[in-house]
Amino acid sequence: MKKKMVALLLTAAMALSMTACGNSSQAPSSDSNSSQEEGSEAASDKEETASSKETFKIGVFQPLSGASAAYGQEAKNAIEMAVDYVNENGGFNGVPGEVVTYDTQGSVEEAVKVVAKLINEDKADAMIGSIIS
């Protein structure tokens, strides 16, 4: 059992570390004056975003009730343990992580609703999908 928990924790940590690395490069503009202005505006926008960004939200949707609840609960616990470990070691590029969890009840229809809520309302930066997807 201990080996399974360690393997699950390492898998969750690996998945989280991959989602923390993103590519935010912009395509160059043909007009040099407008590109300099846009570049300075983009830099100030990034600074505002980085300074106003309090947490790195990770949306988790798992079957926490129903026939697959035991598996969903174990996955949720492993993800939370991994995020706690990352937070104890400096966070995601210095930003602490926060797990936002929803119960899909093992239903595809509920999973679609939950994902829409994570994107539109919670503004999750990354998501970890259901173990039964």
Per-residue pLDDT tens digits of the chain, which is 133 residues long: 555 555 555 565 555 554 444 444 444 444 444 444 445 454 444 444 444 469 999 999 999 998 989 999 999 999 999 999 999 999 999 999 999 999 999 999 999 999 999 999 999 999 999 887 6
Does the pTM surpass 0.85? The reply is no
Question: Cα(102)–Cα(5) distance, rounded to whole angstroms?
Answer: 21
CATH number of the domain located at residue range(s) 2-18+54-128 in this protein: 3.40.50.2300
Q: How far is the CA of 101 from the CAs of 91, 111, 118, 122, in angstroms?
A: 19, 12, 9, 11
Question: Cα(16)–Cα(83) distance, rounded to whole angstroms?
Answer: 8
In sequence order, the 6+-apart residues with CB closer than 8 A to the CB of 53 are 95
What's the gap between Cα 15 and its chain centre? 9
HSE value, Cβ hemisphere, 13 Å, CA-based, for 39: 10
Q: Tell me the domain boundaries of the chain.
A: 2-18+54-128
